[in-house]
Amino acid sequence: MSAALKEVELSGKSGGRAAPRHFLELSDIDSGSLRRMVDLGAKAKRGENLGQPLAGKTVALIFEKPSTRTRVSFEVGIRQLGGHVTTLTSKDTQLGRGETPADTARVLSRYVDAIVLRTDKVAKIRELAEHATVPVINGLTDVSHPCQLMADVMTFEEHRGPIAGQVVAWTGDGNNVAQSFIQAAARFNFTLRLATPPELAPPTDLIAWARSQGANVELTNDPYAAVKDARCVVTDTWISMSDEKGSIRTRHNLLAPYQLNQRLLKAAAPDAVVMHCLPAHRGEEITDEVMDGPQSVVFDEAENRLHAQKGVLLWALGLA
């Protein structure tokens, strides 16, 4: 048995002693490990045989928020790697009825080999990971979406080569995806310019952390300044699942100047690619002309969730 497989056996359902490899935030993981995951995803997409490394293993997917891409990409990816999957929504688990994340973690660790959780509060996934004896993977929280960033890095490199040293521009809300972009800038060594309204800027402590790691992260309220000569321009929906309904009109008013339209895109590098993690509200944060235009790689980006997450799974289970 290989050293990697021994590590998995030690961290299995019977209460082994080895600490599991959790995938919670990009900031928790070193650059080399993240690079390995992206490269594995690219290898999977090229059709290189990864074998059936998840044969005999089961992954639990827990969705406390609606999901299309995260759910389907994990379900399909796990099966393509030879594994089994059980998918639960908030209506299916006692976690949605008052059971603590700690108790849920203790029980599920006896049944499955890894847990993917899509939830709201980051404290919930941290508590789950603290008490699980199997790897826990962040499928989205209100403050981050690290699996999305693995696909985004892979997509940029698929189209434009290494992302290190490049300029990525964000226009819109400083939401959970923007916050994972900040972490990614530190781990993958690209310049990140974020244009947001002052009221919707990302957390200052996160910016400070990224800069302490050597990242070049620039903040502005001017989307044209952010996008100027960037090789990648990114946006996301203005209304997230966690936003209060009463704030929708206010948010639209604040974010209207940050719409990713053809005029704004012309400020970017001529060969810039356009990304959006989806779902998109066409005509709000992005226009049809840009979304369906020749610079858009949005649907490649969506496909790459499937491939990049294979790399995440293999790393978390100690198989890569």
**Which of the residues are catalytic?**
118, 145, 148, 236, 277, 305
Nearest to 60 by CA among 100, 108, 110, 13: 108
Q: Do 252 and 243 contact (CB within 8 A), yes or no?
A: no
Q: Which long-range contacts (C-beta less than 8 Å, at least 24 apart) are formed by 105-111?
A: 105/129, 105/130, 105/131, 105/132, 105/136, 106/131, 106/132, 108/60, 108/132, 108/134, 109/13, 109/133, 109/134, 110/13, 111/13, 111/58, 111/60
Chain centroid to Cα 246, Å, comes to 27
Chain centroid to Cα 183, Å, comes to 11
CA distances from 281 to 97, 170, 209, 285, 288 (A): 32, 17, 31, 7, 10
